Structure 1
């Protein structure tokens, strides 16, 4: 019989170190992110310079980039819980991401680019919740933040290397985006192979943690129903966390847009544009594990909302501080924001959920964030089209301030399960 790490007493082996499967999944994410971030780093330039898209058109594309994952995230979480085969579902998502890189090669217009982006984001949406379920069930409760932090740190390493590779390829062959896309596809295939051969199949735990840290018996072969999924919203702490995450994400600006603001303000030049992604990832890599451990000790909800305060600082820095120093400070705030939110959010949600719906619940939260970011991207593109870039950033800075004032009281009321690091 499989024994969940939730059932292992504190102080025994697995609680003293990050489980092996977390590290392997982190390496898979590292390789996959090298592939993805190579494309992400050149996408704003490819769309606006090579294809000639307007800020509004790019905003719609960026909105699609975020929004395409919403329903698929929910589907991925649902299938992982329903089939009890999260590895199978996540593997399909990684394969879709690889296929999307090939679709970029014949792109000559906005329609084909949108299709490739949609497939790539669908793959990401499908794999995210099942992968996070594998992490959540492997990690002991008092190390959830740290385990997600380790995974996100390895993920950030890939996000750091991807733009560097893209920068090097474009330095060798300026304007040759097809070369970037081919190398990106090869890296994606390598990630799929590593996942297929080195990640063990998941076994559903016998018990999970409920909203108050109590053990919830596993329901055996009971099918997952829509009524059961809707019942997640009756978990008070989870509901408030979900609403707060949705409100905050709707006031976010996509990284590509923020980097374009720095480019338009002449803080950086086109040649160095891909390295902006490197700077953000470098800060993320440095802070993911420390902030994950901080969230385990002092409260995941607190660290999560503080992350959006750091994002607000990034907005203000982008429009108030000029030159290389201003751009560097903006990247520090942006990377810290990701380190405080990306892995901390699923770590905050997982202990609130029954075992048989953990992947579904995580996917609901992540879908709300993706949906909010999609709306924000379209809105920001529309504002920028009718006003200057700085005015659009000021508008979103005000919106994020209002969102924080709304979300902080809401989220601090949510049950924040704290555990002492022993």
Structure 2
């Protein structure tokens, strides 16, 4: 079993991974609606693709969560998910001027990458959190995550401010720039894996052996129905940026 200092180091490392990951895809989120418009996509297409992406990004988490529980291949799913997630974003720089279909596919693939990585990441983070405290551990993660979400669009603004060319060339350069945080994401993830190859060792053995089956209650399904209705009222952010 790892000690508490190791657990905190592991939590911070995963937080740094989240920071660079969010720098990549939150920066992309801030401009992808306008970029799709430049490439020739209509407003209805942008709204539809954004919705499909979110549906797959959240809906597939159940499937990959079951696979993670069955295989215990935490690092495998995390590395695959992060690679798909962060590298689908700078790949948008390779799309031709009228290649809105290819861009839409990449944006959906990016959301699928998030579905692949998220269950594995939350699971191994919970192992370390058993030593440091769940609230504290996830607070550190969220703080670094949101820091990346702030820095990413800010850096992208600077890139777009000083890049000369037409709209397509400026946006193209912005997505190409996001290769840098994408590479940093994978580099820190691989470093974390090399330092902590067995993150389940953070959690007491008695807990890791415990297997509980999920039992849904009426209140849970009522809650799901409520937040589903709430989500129907959202206008997706890429559609907002398309107009602005």
* 1:25-65 Cα shifts (integer Å, max 9, x gaps): 111010111111222121121122x1243321211121133
Aligned match of 1:163: 153
Q: Is the 8 A contact 2:8 2:132 kept in 1?
A: no
Alpha-carbon contact 1:84-1:203 (below 8 Å) kept: no
**Equivalent of residue 93 in structure 1, options 69, 73, 81:** 81
Residue 162 of structure 1 aligns to a residue whose secondary structure is helix
The corresponding residue for 1:23 is 12
Q: Is 2:231 aligned against 1:249?
A: yes
Match for residue 93 of structure 2? 105
1:180 aligned partner? 174
Q: 2:107 aligns with which of 97, 113, 117?
A: 117
Structure number with bigger Rg = 1
- Which residues in structure 2 correspond to 1:226-375 (within 5 Å)? 231-234=213-216, 239=221, 242-258=224-240, 263=244
Following superposition, the deviation at residue 23 of structure 1 comes to 1.5
Distance (whole Å) between structure 1 residues aligned to residue 173 and residue 87 of structure 2: 16
The CA RMSD measured in Å over matched residues stands at: 3.0
Paired position in structure 2 for 1:418: none
For the residues of structure 2 that align with 1:259 and 1:99, how far apart are their CA atoms?
22
Deviation at 1:170, TM superposition (A): 0.8
Pick closer, same or farther for the CA change 1:51–1:259 going to 2, 3 Å: closer
Map Cα deviations across residues 387-415 of structure 1 (whole Å, 9 max, x no partner): xxxxxxxxxxxxxxxxxxxxxxxxxxxxx
Distance of 2:84 and 2:35 partners within structure 1: 22
Name the structure 1 match of 2:200.
203
Corresponding residue number in structure 1 for 2:48 = 60
Checking the alignment, whether the CA contact within 8 Å between 1:68 and 1:121 is kept in structure 2 is yes
Cα deviation for residue 135 of structure 1 reads 1.8
Name the structure 2 match of 1:388. Answer: none
Structure 1 residues 218 and 237: alpha-carbon distance in aligned structure 2, compared to 1, 3 A threshold: farther
| CA distance in structure 1 between the partners assigned to 2:160 and 2:61 by the alignment | 33
> Are the counterparts in 2 of residues 233 and 239 from structure 1 also a CA contact under 8 Å?
no
- 1:35 is matched with 24
Deviations 1:55-94 (A, max 9, x none): 2121112113312313432232122211112122111101
Aligned length: 233
Offset, 1:22: 1.8
**Contact 2:21–2:185 (Cα < 8 Å) also in 1:** yes
* Matched position secondary structure for 2:93: coil
Q: Distance in 2 between matches of 1:163 and 1:72?
A: 27
Q: Which of the residues 198, 207, 210 maps onto 1:218?
A: 210
Q: TM-score, normalised by structure 2?
A: 0.81
How far apart, in 1, do the equivalents of 2:130 and 2:14 lie? 16
Normalized against structure 1, the TM-score is what?
0.49
Say whether the 8 Å CA contact 1:64–1:117 is kept in structure 2.
no
The 2-side partners of 1:34 and 1:235 are apart by 38
Does the alignment pair 1:145 with 2:128? no
Determine which of 63, 74, 80 is the counterpart of 2:68.
Answer: 80
